[in-house]
Chain A
Amino acid sequence: MLSPDEKSQLIAALRIWAKTERNQPVLGFIGGGKILTPWEIVSAVERESEDGEAVLEVLEHGVRREGISRVVGRLTELLTWTTFHPPIARTS
């Protein structure tokens, strides 16, 4: 089960992801009736519809495997940046 904080991080990441994607069907689930576009996916997750819950279930599996930062990073395409350019610790 995702924590409320993890869920809000994922929704925020999905909104960023949707902005970078073309407005065309991407992913659906058997029983959902249609393949959803990125913004329909965001809406489904926010409305907590059956498809939205299925998207979160898929992402939760990723969170448990890789950690929330990596999932958010992958969706927002920040993974490469943070992997190869870790934050520099400042001492002053």
Chain B
Amino acid sequence: MDDLSPADRAHILAALKSAGNLICYFGHGNEHSWLTAGVSTAISSDFVPATGKAVVSIACRTGCNLGPDAITAGVEAWLGFTIKVAVIAPHLGLDPIGDAIVAGVSVLGSGKTMQDSRDELYSELDNVATGYDTGKWSSHPGAALKYYAALAMRDHIVLHGTTTFVPL
């Protein structure tokens, strides 16, 4: 596993060309590109070297156009969101939304499919919404708003391309 930080254009292009079958991106984005400090760092045509690979894009709205366009460019599967990705302030050391994302992506390490990862992410965010609604986190600061954030994220997960692809 390579950790190519920060997510600048040079590191992103290196990752897209790398030998690995799974690229996980955590950073800024919009409908059409990945971004750093408001400047585009990758657009769909940059994904040609990532042909046959899977991309997990934990970035705002990149599931709208960038994902489908990357599939057209050759990427095998793309997991992301069509909404802004919420970040919550940890309370008592707990960051349920962050943990849900990690849990969803982690199943890929067990040889699971991209669909399995998408389903796990959905299930985890569903648990987070329930937790903030009537469950164990309902007394956390801002629980009502965090509930709606988790709900919106849960319902705006998208998986494009080959859903049965096993990247690891």
The reply to whether chain A is a binding partner of chain B is yes
Contact of B89 among A25, A29, A59 (CB under 8 A): A25
| Chain B residue nearest in CB terms to A60 | B152
- Interface size on B, as a range, is 20 to 34
B84 touches A30 (CB 8 A): yes
Smallest Cβ-Cβ distance to A54: which chain B residue: B84
A17 to B148, CA, bound (A): 14
CB of A21 to closest CB in B, whole Å: 6
Q: List the B side residues contacting A59 at CB < 8 Å.
A: 148
Complex Cα spacing A26 to B29, Å: 22
B87: which of A27, A62, A75 is its contact (CB, 8 Å)? A27
The one of A26, A32, A65 in contact with B142, judged by C-beta atoms closer than 8 angstroms, is A26
Q: How far is the CB of B85 from chain A (nearest CB, A)?
A: 4
Given the complex of chains A and B, what is the CA–CA distance between A38 and B88 in angstroms? 12
Contact with B along A22-53 (1 / 0, CB 8 A): 10111111111001001001000000000000
Q: Are B141 and A58 in contact (CB under 8 A)?
A: no
Docked Cα-Cα span, A24 to B148, in Å, equals 19
- Docked-complex contact B89 and A30, CB < 8 angstroms: no
Q: A35-B89, A58-B152, A65-B151 in contact; A30/B144 too (CB < 8 A)? A: no
Contact mask for chain B residues 75-116; partner A; CB cutoff 8 A; 1 contact, 0 none? 000000001111111000000000000000000000000000
Interface residues of B in 146-164 (CB under 8 A from A): 146-149, 151-152, 155-156
B interface residues (Cβ-Cβ under 8 A, vs A) = 27-29, 35, 58-60, 83-89, 141-142, 144-149, 151-152, 155-156
Extra 15 A-B pairs, beta carbons < 8 Å, given A61-B148, A61-B152 = A17-B145, A24-B141, A26-B142, A27-B86, A27-B149, A28-B89, A30-B29, A30-B84, A32-B87, A41-B145, A57-B152, A61-B151, A62-B152, A75-B144, A75-B145
Q: Report A's interface with B, CB cutoff 8 A.
A: 17, 21-22, 24-32, 35, 38, 41, 54-55, 57-59, 61-62, 65, 71, 74-75, 77
